Amino acid sequence: MTKTPDLPTLQSPLLSSLPGVKHAFFTRQGGVSTGIYDSLNVGRGSKDDPADVIENRARAARWFGGDPEDLNTCYQIHSTIAIKADGQWGDVRPEGDAVVTKTPGVICGALAADCAPVLLVDPEARVAAAAHAGWRGALDGIVQATVDCMVEMGARPDRITGVVGPCIGPKSYEVGLEFLHRFEADCPGSGRFFKPGASEGKRFFDLPSFVLDRLETAGVERREWVGRDTRAEEEWFFSNRRAFLNGEGDYGRLLSAISLEA
């Protein structure tokens, strides 16, 4: 855990070792939101006070040394849409689930609250991306779509480093058998990512390992998960599933972001 004043972040050793790249997996700490959104909620789709969300996003952008308009995030729809960004989006939120850039200073961001954020970069081609991979997007192919978009911009899969950020962990994600059956039908062999649950009709799904497998399939050789479970660590992370189980009406969103330095 490293800190800028009042704004804790998680860092990936793989990404930190690369020149000309700045990244952060932000936690829920260091913002101005209150109540169930305490405190660094960056989700413009949440029911939080919009002014607080704007300030939180500005704080994250300043961590990168940028302006709030530099932080590019999508209106995420659990799709396989990766969008190229050659400049600031500002308040615009195009529908999609990955942001890809070659432009220094553009901050590519992905929002999550149990889904897996993925930060990727080819430091030689100078192409960076942030993707949002929930179970549906991961299964349908958002990781491959993001890598393909990066390749269109000059990247090579074997040069890409891909890191899965804080997400719901393998001991926290219990699902029904229909979930397993869908994965096996759409991605044969994926049953290895499911372990016995609390009852015969339940399984624990290992989302981070599945996303890492999707990175491997896409040709990404340098990859890791930061190893943090959003549902289990309430002090540090927002969690959709935890909020639902607690009967809360909404939840905050975490930000994972990456930028190329000038």
Q: Helix H segments across the chain?
A: 13-16, 50-63, 135-140, 142-152, 177-186, 207-217, 240-245
Q: What is the pLDDT of residues 15-34, one digit of tens each?
A: 999 999 999 999 999 999 99
Mean pLDDT confidence for 131-143: 98
From the DSSP assignment, how many helices (H) and strands (E) are in the chain?
A: 7, 15
Would you say residue 4 has pLDDT above 80?
Answer: no
Would you say residue 156 has pLDDT above 90?
Answer: yes
Would you say residue 187 has pLDDT above 90?
Answer: yes
CA–CA gap between residue 110 and residue 90 (Å, rounded):
15
pLDDT band at residue 262, thresholds of 50, 70 and 90?
confident
- Give this prediction's pTM: 0.97
Would you say residue 3 has pLDDT above 80?
Answer: no
Mean pLDDT confidence for 176-184: 97
CA–CA gap between residue 68 and residue 90 (Å, rounded):
7
Mean pLDDT score across all residues of the chain:
96
Q: Looking only at Cα atoms, what is the longest distance across the chain?
A: 54
* CA neighbor of 70 nearest in space, from 258, 219, 217, 249: 258
pLDDT band at residue 43, thresholds of 50, 70 and 90?
very high
CA 239 to chain centre: 13
CA quadruple 180, 186, 188, 190: dihedral positive or negative?
negative
CA angle 6, 11, 17 (to 5 degrees): 135
Would you say residue 49 has pLDDT above 80?
Answer: yes
Residue the block writes with tokens 């849409």: 81
Beta-bridged to residue 119, according to DSSP, are 130, 163
Which is higher by pLDDT, 2 or 115? 115
CA–CA gap between residue 39 and residue 53 (Å, rounded):
9
The pairing of strands 7-10 and 21-26 is antiparallel
What is the dotted CATH code of the domain comprising 2-166+223-260? Answer: 3.60.140.10
Would you say residue 39 has pLDDT above 60?
Answer: yes
Q: What percent of the chain has pLDDT over 70?
A: 98
Q: What is the pLDDT of residue 6?
A: 72
Pair of tokens at residue 100: 């890809």
Q: What percent of the chain has pLDDT over 90?
A: 97
Beta-bridged to residue 167, according to DSSP, are 229
The pairing of strands 107-112 and 71-72 is parallel
pLDDT band at residue 153, thresholds of 50, 70 and 90?
very high
CA angle 161, 135, 178 (to 5 degrees): 145
Task: Write b or e for each residue in 45-82: b if 16 or more Cβ atoms lie within 10 A of its Cβ, otherwise e.
Answer: ebebeeebbebbbbbbbebbebebbbbbbbebebbbbb
Q: What is the pLDDT of residues 72-112, one digit of tens each?
A: 999 999 999 999 999 999 889 999 999 999 999 999 999 99
Q: What is the pLDDT of residue 226?
A: 98
* CA neighbor of 138 nearest in space, from 168, 158, 160, 109: 168
Q: What is the pLDDT of residue 50?
A: 98
Mean pLDDT confidence for 5-14: 89
Task: For 113-151, list the strands marked E by DSSP.
Answer: 116-122, 127-133
Q: Where are the domains of the chain?
A: 2-166+223-260
Q: What is the pLDDT of residues 214-242, one digit of tens each?
A: 999 999 999 999 999 999 999 999 999 99
